[in-house]
Structure 1
Amino acid sequence: MEGKLYLCAVKDVWSRRIVGYSIDSRMKSRLAVNALDNAAARRGDLAGCVLHTDRRSQFRSRKLQRALNRHRMVGSMGRVGAAGDNAAMESFFGLLQNNVLNRRTWTTREQLRTAIVTWIERTYHRRRRQRPLGRLTPIEYEAIMTPPASQAA
């Protein structure tokens, strides 16, 4: 497979669910905007939510700032050299590395894209039990903790 694939993901730290993501062959601001738009499409109204990022250029772009404003969200950036700020995402990407990327090689980008999406949607959300969630999966945690009226929406 020629070239790389880049993944930008948006994690809900309450349920530890990846609520939006985007995969592309280029790491541009559009990657971050697409991930944020994907999260908004899945979650609905994100007004007042905080998007915490590291200091990479795609997160400092005007395009992402406009997307944050469009969704009425607040942007937050980690401090330089403060690795703990992004620990939740670093943990997710470490799991992805160990469970998908280090397991085999792919001949096409589309195969790799499918493997990443399948792992997120099938394994990480529905099978991986997480200690901070009381040994529930993100999907189980949301189903139990979300009032029935808001689940219908």
Structure 2
Amino acid sequence: MSSKRYPEEFKIEAVKQVVDRGHSVSSVATRLDITTHSLYAWIKKYGPDSSTNKEQLDAQAGIRRLQKELKRVTDERDIFKKSRGVLRKAVRLRYAFIRDNSCCWPDRLLCRVLNVHPSGFYTWLQQPHSLRLQADLRLTGQIKQFWLESGCVYGYRSPRARKGEASIVIPHRLLRQFNPEAPDERWVTDITYIRTHEGWLYLTVVVDLFSRKVIGWSMQSRMTKDIVLNALLMAVWRRNPQKQVLVHSDQGSQYTSHEWQSFLKSHGLEGSMSRRGNCHDNAVAESFFQLLKRERIKKKIYGTREEARSDIFDYIEMFYNSKRRHGSSDQMPPTEYEKQYYQRLGSV
């Protein structure tokens, strides 16, 4: 059996547990089930004094500058496109356009693009509104709040496209059999989102049903095919299964893609999907997300995606896998439950 491999995302977050959170190398290595030699090597490569870290920081700073400039140009283009005709109209109509679109762009940016002074706009806002307008504003605020709480998924549903890539839906082979006899028989995977002041952070996990251990995860700012593939790749690297594993998901577009099916086939994995509208078919993955949000995230909003990423890594790898006890695993943490299984297997 080949040795375990870990993706760069995992290594960087492991180093942060020592560098940023102050945990000892030995304690982090023990909880993550890695050697201290490996962790020291990762610290040397990804720590604050490494050339790799400095290059990454410079690259990230450059990317942030480009993203900021691109957002400014894109916002101005979109405002001009949406405000066609408003520039030639009376100032009060431009003020109304700014008020109606302040949920999409900053007030001062709208004022600059529409060639009005912010102080004049704010003075106009203080004028009394009609009862009808006040009711409309309240309704708009409620709609926006519902949209945010839905993870930005509520809204207009476009008709089914007749062109494009066809989805691949496979049978529900798991059949809610959530308690296998051994590790690496059945895995489940799902996606959730975490709110930050920078925007949503999407999290994908892969859970081994035998111990309820999170064996793969990935966190990104966009919900693309890569996030589910990276999480499953981490699980394959960490577990190196010697027999076919059943991997169960819902029917999200990331899981019905050709890339997902190709990955399963090339790594000797068998797919399974929840039936449409049956969220209980993937109950264990949903249960993990509920625990994460109840025990760690609760109602807080992280300042940045990086802050959320670090805290979620701490929950998964430093607490949930190595410390949190589960009723389904004889009141043992997932890692300990698996160790005792292999010890019993070796004594037979």
Moved more, 87-96 or 62-71: 62-71
What secondary structure does 1:57 align onto?
coil
SS at match of 2:315: helix
- Partner Cα distance (1:47, 1:110) in 2: 36
1:45-85 deviations in whole A, cap 9, x for unaligned? 36410110011000111111111112110010011122221
| Alignment pair present for 1:115 and 2:326 | no
SS in 2 for 1:91: helix
**1:4 and 2:164 are equivalent in the alignment:** no
Calculate percent identity across the aligned residue pairs.
Answer: 37
Aligned runs of 1:2-151 on 2, under 5 Å?
2-45=198-241, 47-102=243-298, 104-147=300-343
State the AA in 2 paired with 1:110.
E
In 1, distance between residues paired with 2:344 and 2:259?
36
- What is the SS of the residue equivalent to 2:204? strand
TM-score by length of 1: 0.92
Q: Cα offset for 1:101? A: 2.1
Distance in 1, matches of 2:266 and 2:205, equals 19
2:241 and 2:335 mapped to 1: Cα distance? Answer: 19
Contiguous gaps of at least 5 residues in structure 1? none
Deviation, structure 1 residue 148: 8.3
Are the structure 2 counterparts of residues 56 and 29 from structure 1 closer, same or farther at C-alpha, using a change threshold of 3 Å? same
- Which aligned runs of 4 or more in structure 1 are off by greater than 6 angstroms? none
Larger RCO of the pair (alpha carbons < 8 Å, separation 6+) = 1
- Looking at structure 2, the residues matched to 70 and 22 of structure 1 have their Cα atoms a distance apart, in angstroms, of 20
Give the total of aligned pairs. Answer: 150
Give the whole-Å Cα distance in 2 for the aligned partners of 1:28 and 1:148: 41
Deviation, structure 1 residue 32 = 0.6
Question: Which residue identity lines up with residue 143 of structure 1 in the other structure?
Answer: K
Rg (Cα) greater in structure: 2
- Judge conservation of contact 1:18–1:120 (CA < 8 Å) in 2: yes
Distance 2:233 2:316 in 1: 18
**Shift in Å at residue 38 of structure 1?**
0.5
RMSD: 1.7
Pairwise CA distance, 1:139: 0.9
CA displacement at 1:43 relative to structure 2: 0.3
1:60 match: secondary structure: coil
Q: What TM-score comes out, normalization by structure 2 length?
A: 0.41
- The residue type equivalent to 2:248 in the other structure is H
Once residues 14 and 148 of structure 1 are traced to their aligned partners in structure 2, the CA distance between those partners, rounded to angstroms, is 15
Cα distance change, pair 47–33 in 1 and its aligned pair in 2 (3 A)? farther
One-letter code of the match for 1:36? Answer: L
**Worse overlay, 45-54 or 86-95:** 45-54
Instruction: Give 1:20 deviation, angstroms.
Output: 0.4
Q: Does the aligned pair in 2 maintain the 1:133–1:141 contact within 8 Å?
A: yes
Letter in 2 for 1:121: E
